[in-house]
Structure formats: structure tokens, C-alpha cells
């Protein structure tokens, strides 16, 4: 997925100016998030804009604001929004999530956040900004989410399992409890690659399920094929 552009069924993503190209993580978050009743959506760290665009396709009545700290990525995401059939419902905020404020709260927030806090950094400062927590700590993510999320709202996040466990503790400290978890493996017998978790203020008991992306022969599982049906070409 490292091309300068990526064609989806209903929109096209240009990504030559984005440090982080379209990834399976982003596609999973865009496809798994429950957005059926959402009217106001906030996408934190939109990058290319792909998650916001997928949610715009899935939630035809929703207005979406996407936040992006990198100037090149913000400009490119805005262009991707403007060229899409959902342009009238998409808005780009350039800046830090900590500096974003709104008089209105959101019924859905999504994020594929930076999560490296103790890893060696890349020579590329843009990749560092996208991957490391220097610019957006889990504590800041939690505090600002608490202020921006409606009392009955939800936030959906994708992270590796160790970082998700850390985030659960931080979110719990501001009153956000996990109520759904999707455990993602490449193959049935492989380690857990990612978790997509949903949090709310409701305090309801969490439920979990597994998602395996590939069969033993390397082909995509039927469950994953159905998940990405309607988005990726050929599915």
C-alpha cells in the first residue's frame, strides 16, 4: 500500500505527501467502528483521511471533522476530502488535538493514534510525529476525549495489545470503560497483532471477539473479505 495513490470503490486516496501511507490498521478501524447512528464524528490524527472517508461512506447522515497535526498530511487529506463524493460532510482541522475545541460534542470519536513511547526514532521527523506519543500522549487523548464526547457517545481505537492495555487504564481514569474488543490475528495460530476497542461512559460489561485475516494458505478469510467488501477493489 505504498503507492502515491490508492483507489477505493467510492473514493481515491492520494498519499505521496503523507508520512504514514494507507495501512491495514486504518482500513480495519474504518470498517469495524460502529457508526450506524452517528451524526457527528471526530477523527483524531486522520493522516490520509482514509478512516474519515470510510465512515462518511458508511454513515451517510454524519458530519465528520478530521484533526491532523502534520501540515502536508492535513493539506493532502483536505484535497482527498474535496475530491470525494462526501466532500460536503467532511471538514479538516489542522493542528494538535490538544488545541482543538468545539461547542458541540461528538457521538463518535475514532483514532489510530501514535503509540511508540520508548522506541528508537526514525530519521524522518514526519514518521516520528505520526508514530510516537511525543505530540499526543494517552493522557492527553483521554482528557480531550472526555471533554468532546457526548455522555452516550463512543470512542473506537486501534492499537497493538500492549499499548491498548495501557490505554484502558488511562481511559478508565477519566471514566471511559471498554465495552467491545476485537482481537485481530493475521492467521488463526499467530500472535495478536492489533486490538480494536470501543469505550464509553456507560460502564457496561465488555465483550470480545476474534478476527482472523488470513487462512492457512494465505488467502483472506471470508469474514475479512465481507468486512472490506464495499471498500477495496475486488471485494
Q: What is the CATH number of the domain that holds 216?
A: 3.40.50.150
Is position 235 within any domain? no
Is position 234 within any domain? no
Supply φ then ψ for residue 60, to 5 degrees. Answer: -65, -10
Supply φ then ψ for residue 132, to 5 degrees. Answer: -100, 155
Distance from C-alpha of 98 to C-alpha of 137, rounded to nearest angstrom: 10
Distances (CA, A) of 50 to 55, 129, 172, 204: 9, 18, 28, 30
Residue owning grid cell 477519566: 174
Q: Which grid coordinates belong to 145? A: 476525549
Is position 153 within any domain? yes
Give residues with Cβ within 8 angstroms of 213, minimum separation 6. Answer: 24, 184, 185, 186, 187, 220, 221, 224
Give residues with Cβ within 8 angstroms of 62, minimum separation 6. Answer: 35, 38, 39, 40, 41, 55, 56, 89, 108
Q: Which grid coordinates belong to 163? A: 499499548
The mean per-residue pLDDT over the stretch 120-146 comes to 68
Supply φ then ψ for residue 76, to 5 degrees. Answer: -70, -40
Is position 156 within any domain? yes
Is position 123 within any domain? yes
**Overall number of domains in the chain:** 1
User: Cβ–Cβ contacts within 10 Å for residue 206, how many?
Assistant: 13
pLDDT band at 118 (very low <50, low <70, confident <90, very high): low
pLDDT band at 135 (very low <50, low <70, confident <90, very high): confident
pLDDT above 70: percentage of residues in the chain: 90
Of residues 20 and 3, more confidence is placed in 20
Is position 233 within any domain? no
Res 149 pLDDT > 80: yes
Is position 38 within any domain? yes
Average pLDDT over the chain, rounded to whole?
91
3-class secondary-structure state, position 55: helix
pLDDT in tens, 158-195: 999 999 999 999 999 999 999 999 999 999 999 999 99
The mean per-residue pLDDT over the stretch 23-47 comes to 96
* Domain span holding position 52: 5-228
Partner residues linked to 109 by β-bridges: 42, 155
**pTM of structure:** 0.89
Lowest mean pLDDT among 84-93, 130-139, 149-158, 190-199: 130-139
- Exposure of 233 by Cβ count < 10 A (0-12 exposed, 13-18 middle, 19+ buried)? exposed
3-class secondary-structure state, position 123: coil
pLDDT band at 134 (very low <50, low <70, confident <90, very high): low
Is position 131 within any domain? yes
Note the pLDDT of residue 130.
42
Res 123 pLDDT > 80: no
Res 14 pLDDT > 80: yes
Q: Which grid coordinates belong to 160? A: 497493538
pLDDT band at 117 (very low <50, low <70, confident <90, very high): low
Amino acid at each position: 500500500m505504498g503507492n502515491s495513490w490508492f483507489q477505493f470503490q467510492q473514493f481515491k486516496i492520494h498519499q505521496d505527501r503523507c508520512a504514514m501511507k494507507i495501512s491495514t490498521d486504518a482500513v480495519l478501524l474504518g470498517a469495524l467502528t460502529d457508526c450506524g447512528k452517528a451524526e457527528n464524528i471526530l477523527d483524531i490524527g486522520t493522516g490520509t483521511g482514509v478512516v474519515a472517508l470510510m465512515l462518511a461512506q458508511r454513515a451517510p447522515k454524519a458530519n465528520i471533522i478530521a484533526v491532523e497535526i502534520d501540515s502536508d498530511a492535513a493539506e493532502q487529506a483536505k484535497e482527498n476530502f474535496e475530491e470525494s463524493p462526501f466532500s460536503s460532510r467532511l471538514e479538516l482541522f489542522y493542528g494538535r488535538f490538544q488545541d482543538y475545541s468545539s461547542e458541540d460534542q461528538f457521538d463518535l470519536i475514532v483514532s489510530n493514534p501514535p503509540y511508540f513511547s520508548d522506541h528508537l526514532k526514525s530519521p524522518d521527523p514526519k514518521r516520528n510525529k505520526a508514530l510516537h506519543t511525543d505530540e499526543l500522549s494517552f493522557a492527553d487523548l483521554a482528557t480531550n476525549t472526555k471533554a468532546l464526547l457526548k455522555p452516550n457517545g463512543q470512542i473506537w481505537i486501534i492499537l497493538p495489545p500492549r499499548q491498548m492495555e495501557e490505554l484502558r487504564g488511562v481511559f478508565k481514569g477519566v471514566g471511559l470503560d471498554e465495552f467491545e474488543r476485537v482481537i485481530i490475528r493475521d492467521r488463526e495460530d499467530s500472535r495478536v497483532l492489533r486490538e480494536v476497542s470501543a469505550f464509553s461512559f456507560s460502564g457496561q460489561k465488555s465483550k470480545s471477539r476474534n478476527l482472523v485475516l488470513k487462512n492457512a494458505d494465505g488467502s483472506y478469510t471470508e469474514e475479512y473479505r465481507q468486512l472490506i467488501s464495499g471498500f477495496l477493489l475486488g471485494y
